[in-house]
Amino acid sequence: MGLSQTLATIPGVASPVLSGYIVQHQSAEEWNIVFYLAGAMFLVGALVFLVFGSGERQSWADQQHHPDDITQFCYTNSELSDDSPE
């Protein structure tokens, strides 16, 4: 999980730098380049999932619980104080 979070953080750090490099004069054409690049990155991610991904439930996600494995804890306070409102 740490590796995936690290890789996911890189675009968040690099995108303002890249956008600042591309957008020098605040023109619409420069911003179009930035948005086309962002769209291309999303499209590449979707294509990678389409080719390699799957929507099937994995074996490690099926946890079988038996009633004997489950322990219920119930704590009660059996003492009542004298200064409780009646």
pLDDT at 23: 95
Angle subtended by helix axes 28-52 and 2-22, to nearest 10:
150
Q: What is the pLDDT of residue 64?
A: 75
pTM above 0.75, yes or no: no
The sign of the dihedral angle between the CA atoms of 41, 45, 46, 50 is positive
Per-residue tens of pLDDT for the chain, all 86 residues: 788 888 889 888 988 999 999 999 999 999 999 999 999 989 998 999 999 988 888 887 877 766 666 666 666 666 655 555 55
Residues 6+ apart with CB under 8 A from 37: 18, 22
pLDDT at 82: 58
Could you give the residue ranges of the DSSP H alpha helices within 1-86? Answer: 2-22, 28-52
**According to the model, what pLDDT value does residue 57 have?**
87
Cβ contacts of 8 within 8 Å, gap of 6 or more: none
Which residue, 44, 20, 41, is CA-closest to 31? 20
pLDDT of residue 63: 74
Rounded distance between C-alpha atoms, residue 41 and residue 22, angstroms:
16
pLDDT of residue 50: 94
